[in-house]
Amino acid sequence: MHLSVSGVSKTFGHGPRAKLVLDDINLELDSGEFVALVGSSGSGKSTVMRLVAGLERSSTGSITVDGRPVRGPGSDRGMVFQKYSLYPWLSAAENVAFGMQLQGRPKREVNERTAYFLEVVGLSDAGRRLPRELSGGMQQRVAIARALAADPKVLLLDEPFGALDLQIRESMQEFLYQLWERTGLTALLITHDVEEALLLAQRVHIMAPRPGRIIRTVAAQLDRSNLAHLRVSRPFLELREELAGCLRSLDAGVPA
């Protein structure tokens, strides 16, 4: 799998009210990679994600998956939203099965894969519960299981833990990292949290706002054998401080 975003810009609106939201975005993503896009809110991160997902059309540039241009949404690019994306009338298991049913997979396969992915996200016992009976963290795990069960080539995560409490967020970050190690998934993560990006991704793109553009790319080669240690290790903290400072200066209007 190879995802390529090259020279992409996006303008919303027409004429005098036209607003350039993204300017010349370039990204590459290969099978098994975990890449993060960090920026303050309003910098256009979600717009990048929606373009890759095919939910919006880019104004210029091209987005391709394995050389084929993205023309609309498809199950090769699974997406996890920040919140409100579980079907409230379906149980956790039915939510996980939902995509596979849309694809018309045989019933037996759907059942087996549903059980497998519920197990992968550690929710085998919660399969019959409705979304409103699950905690925020559990809901996001169901959403991730649902996206994975549809067998995407790349998983698009748009601030998946942004609505969760700090402690739960940290445990979800460890969960996602272990999931990545175990299943070898390919992921593009969007976050406004530098720590989250550095913790999980091998490559971190920093976005500047108005118009949204990538101003810096960092290869985060860190020892991730123990994330709790990593969080407080010196190289990690230094890198985090540096990037956070970079984002702060952008928000303050100082040119980077």
Partner 1 sequence: MSSTSTTAGKARSANALDAAAWRRWLGHPWSLGLIGILAVLLVWQLIAGSGLVDKLFLPSPEAVWKAGSEQYARGILIKDLLASVGRVGAGFALSALVSLPIGIAMGCSRVICQLLEPLMGLIRYMPAPAFIPLLIIYFGLGEEPKILLIFIGTVFFNTLMIMDSVKFVPSELRETALTLGGHGFQIVTKVVAPFIAPQVIDAYRINMASAWNLVIVAELVAANEGLGKRISLAQRFLRTDEIFVGLIVIGLIGLAIDLGFRLLMRRACSWAN
Ligand X SMILES: Nc1ncnc2c1ncn2[C@@H]1O[C@H](COP(=O)(O)OP(=O)(O)O)[C@@H](O)[C@H]1O
The reply to whether 47 sits near ligand X by the rule CB under 6 A is yes
Cβ atoms of residues 26 and 6 within 8 Å? yes
The reply to whether 21 sits near ligand X by the rule CB under 6 A is yes
The Cα–Cα gap between 97 and 93 comes to 6
Q: Which residues bind partner 1 (CB under 8 A)?
A: 53-55, 72-75, 77-79, 81, 83-85, 87-89, 98-99, 101-103, 130, 132, 143, 146-147, 150, 152, 156
Q: What does 21 bind: ligand X, partner 1, Mg ion, none (CB cut-off 5 to 8 Å by kind)?
A: ligand X
Cis status of the peptide bond prior to 131, with omega within 30 of 0: no
Closest by Cα among 193, 199, 173, 205 to 41: 193
Q: What does 44 bind: ligand X, partner 1, Mg ion, none (CB cut-off 5 to 8 Å by kind)?
A: ligand X
Amino acid making up residue 92: A
Break the chain down into helix, strand, coil percent, rounded to 5. Answer: 40, 25, 35
Binds ligand X (CB under 6 A): choice among 9, 38, 39, 188: 39
Pattern of binders to Mg ion over 43-62, x per CB under 5 A? Answer: ---x----------------
Residues that bind ligand X (CB under 6 A): 12, 19, 21, 39, 41-47
